A and B are shown apart, each in its own frame.
Chain A
């Protein structure tokens, strides 16, 4: 649980507050995406949680403890941190990179080794990569290592600053979906900063839309997309917000089970409703056949059912 109470940050020599009397409650185990245009204060907000930036006023509690009660360096060892450019240590192997925080905490070698191996499996990397250097990995692999390194000491809270910003668009979507699964599995409280509403919708359990140092709307992706609080949010989430909302539902959850009609366009049961609707529109049909992993037809989804969601 992270609680921010009336937090304000004013940087020296600037008139307006970067973060202006902001209050935010983040329940345990969920992912919150702080999203907004550049300069809205989202990164400053996140960086105040691990005290990379000190608030001018207000209180921040992590698991009930005031972050300012502890030593900042000590505090950070218990909060995972992932940044856009990953920042892997180039002179250390992947194993040494992952071991960074456990070493700071004084874990013994055996425990570190076991944990590293477990993490490599979690983030979907080969064990053999532990002996490589960051330079020898692709951008996506490096970001996986970045997440493994942040999770190494099993911190309850994970902060992520534009974690997919440096990854090419095709790999990005796949990685985002995978990270969504990983974050669900490890049950961390995650605060993620992004300027990309699609990323926020894909990964966030809650989205906090920020503007000029304040939170304009803090809600589930579903509510943000279906009932934007004001014109700014409506504009920010985009004119296609109704279609974006469809990405929140899987085809399998809306379909009518049955054998299906072979003449209909086919859609994957794990795909989202936006893709299903697209397939229906492309075929100038009114429905689509839903297929499972093996390509077997397991049901039907109609245009009317999608529009009724």
Chain B
């Protein structure tokens, strides 16, 4: 029997263990994305208003981006210990750069003529943000969400190193026990999750913003 068949067999025989790992994986990833959105989007608006903060914020976030996911997880361990929460914090840091940078650039690069017209017709700063900048930056924000989601779903694979659980557990066990079939029990679903999310969010993006591109 081939390795993939063995992996599927294992899943069929151990549904509870598999489902728990899958659940943890999704919980970690989704929570991290929600946190990253909750921090990144308001932060983008804030640095848009205070130009001097923008460079500092973007640079520090870009600095974070150069850290490998494993390094982020390793840094979290002495600070937050082990378990689910440190993994979520680490994944939030991983998700933050694409969300913040996309949102900021989207908000900033709205056509200057459009802003001039909106100001000239009597929209307040707040109205320009709500009615003009945010809707026009929405596609960029969504693209940031898409990148972050794929990164987080894949990055969560490393959570077992700090006791976070998730599908990465199977990979860790598989490597430790030289059991390639077990490794695939983790690896294949993670790959499918990442690809599926990329595809679904891509389709959603087209559905939401496609009409604007149509000439």
Contacts and interface: CB of A to CB of B under 8 A. Distances in A.
Interface residues of B, number: 22
A160 B210 CA distance: 33
Contact of B121 (A90, A133, A136, A149): A149
A73 B122 contact: yes
Contacts of A84: 113
A85 B115 CA distance: 11
A50 B214 CA distance: 35
B123 A83 contact: no
A215 B193 CA distance: 69
A141 interface: no
A89 interface: yes
A59 B27 CA distance: 63
B136 A90 contact: yes
Contacts of A146: 117
Interface in B117-134: 117-124, 127, 131-132
A87 B123 contact: no
A188 to B, nearest CB: 15
The residue in B117, B118, B212 that gathers the most chain A C-beta atoms within 10 A of its C-beta is B117
A70 to B, nearest CB: 11
Contact of B122 (A76, A85, A133, A159): A76
Interface in A234-255: none
Interface in B171-215: 211-212, 214-215
Contact of B111 (A87, A133, A136): A87
A87 B114 contact: yes
Interface in B87-122: 111, 113-122
A10 interface: no
A139 to B, nearest CB: 13
Given A91-B212, A135-B215, A100 B121 contact: yes
Contacts of A149: 121
A74 interface: yes
B136 A87 contact: no
A88 B121 contact: no
A144 B135 CA distance: 24
Interface of B: 111, 113-124, 127, 131-132, 135-136, 211-212, 214-215
Interface of A: 50, 52, 73-78, 80-81, 83-91, 100-101, 104, 133, 135-136, 146, 149-150, 159
Q: Which 7 A-B pairs have the closest CB atoms?
A: A87-B117, A77-B122, A81-B120, A76-B122, A85-B113, A87-B113, A91-B135
